[in-house]
Amino acid sequence: MIEIVPYQPRWPEEFQAIGARLRQALGSMALRIDHIGSTSIPGMAAKDIIDIQVTVAAPDEPLRLAMNSIGYIQHEALTDHRPPHAPGADSEWTKWLFLPAPDQRRAHVHIRIQGAANQRYALLFRDYLRAHTEAAQAYAELKRRLAQNLADPKTYPDVKDPAVDLIYFAAEAWAGATGWQPGLPDA
């Protein structure tokens, strides 16, 4: 079952604690560490899972070992959802996903390559929703309704992705109009 909860003011602090641990373990391997996903949007309802993007030059064995040293296990190598006509080669939409040990704060650590389309996408999506609270609230309402009404929770991402695509296209237009660039890393 998927549970969408109201925004929790503790989420930014929880990210900071995890981000500091990641920064200490990864050192210069982490080019950026950013709070992404719905828990990074002030006021937005979300699943109570802290999403973190670690930007790297390339995922490699030393990175995997450093993540393991702080209790994170690689879940799998994945390909992110790619909006229709999104830029970049298919390889620019791959990532590593790490999950913490059961005794740690629930989080998803997404390892993405600097300059890859999916690395930029996560930051643009977050910043767009931070700047457009009405869109963030509409997206949160969609997630609540999906979580309440889907017979098979495994289909949640498949049903949600077309709405995410609509936000992505609006975010790209906003980025072009404003000259958006990623700000400083969060940790």
Q: What is the pLDDT of residue 169?
A: 95
- Which CATH architecture best describes the domain 11-178? 2-Layer Sandwich (3.30)
pLDDT tens-place string over residues 91-148: 999 999 999 999 999 999 999 999 999 999 999 999 999 999 999 999 999 999 988 8
Q: What is the pLDDT of residue 76?
A: 77
Is the predicted pLDDT of residue 152 greater than 90, yes or no?
Answer: no
pLDDT tens-place string over residues 18-74: 999 999 999 999 999 999 999 999 999 999 999 999 999 999 999 999 999 999 999
Q: What is the pLDDT of residue 33?
A: 98
Q: What is the pLDDT of residue 147?
A: 87
| Domain boundaries along the sequence of the chain | 11-178
Q: Band of the pLDDT at 77, cuts 50, 70, 90?
A: confident
Give, as one character, the DSSP assignment of residue 46. B
Is the predicted pLDDT of residue 87 greater than 90, yes or no?
Answer: no
13-19: Cβ within 8 A, 24+ apart: 14/50, 14/105, 15/39, 15/40, 15/50, 15/52, 15/186, 15/187, 16/186, 16/187, 17/105, 18/50, 18/52, 18/105, 18/107, 19/52, 19/186, 19/187
Q: Give the whole-angstrom CA distance, residue 31 versus residue 68.
A: 19
Q: Is the dihedral of CA 86, 163, 151, 2 positive or negative?
A: positive
